[in-house]
Amino acid sequence: MKLLGTSERLAVNRFITDEDESHISLDRGSARSTGMAERLIAVCPAGVYRIAQDGTVTIEYAACLECGTCRAVDTEGVLHWRYPKGGFGVQYREG
């Protein structure tokens, strides 16, 4: 039996996205000026946060694992995170 790595385990999860509304929003200017963007990028296990080539912070909310790690490091109050509406979000397929 082959043991799966983190990437392979995450790949079997199912993500149901709400195309009308993200469950994550961010004051992008404050995130950059306070260094929060870099902290979010460093701690997010799913790589939801990135800095684009033009310097803006991007959020790939569809990949969110809903672990709450980003909320724990948001000391600046620039992140607005809530659980997705019922029926949306991540559905774990493997423990």
Residue 95 pLDDT class (50, 70, 90 cuts):
low
Cβ atoms of 8 and 34 closer than 8 Å: no
Domain with 37 in it: 31-95
Mean pLDDT of the chain: 85
> Considering the domain boundaries, does residue 83 fall inside one?
yes
Cβ atoms of 12 and 90 closer than 8 Å: no
> Considering the domain boundaries, does residue 91 fall inside one?
yes
Q: What is the pLDDT of residues 27-52, one digit of tens each?
A: 988 888 999 999 999 999 989 999 99
Report pTM.
Answer: 0.78
Rounded to 10 degrees, what is the CA torsion of 33, 57, 55, 20? -130
Please give the tally of structural domains in the chain.
Answer: 1
CATH number of the domain at 72, please.
3.30.70
End-to-end alpha-carbon separation of the chain, Å?
16
Amino acid at 5: G
> Considering the domain boundaries, does residue 77 fall inside one?
yes
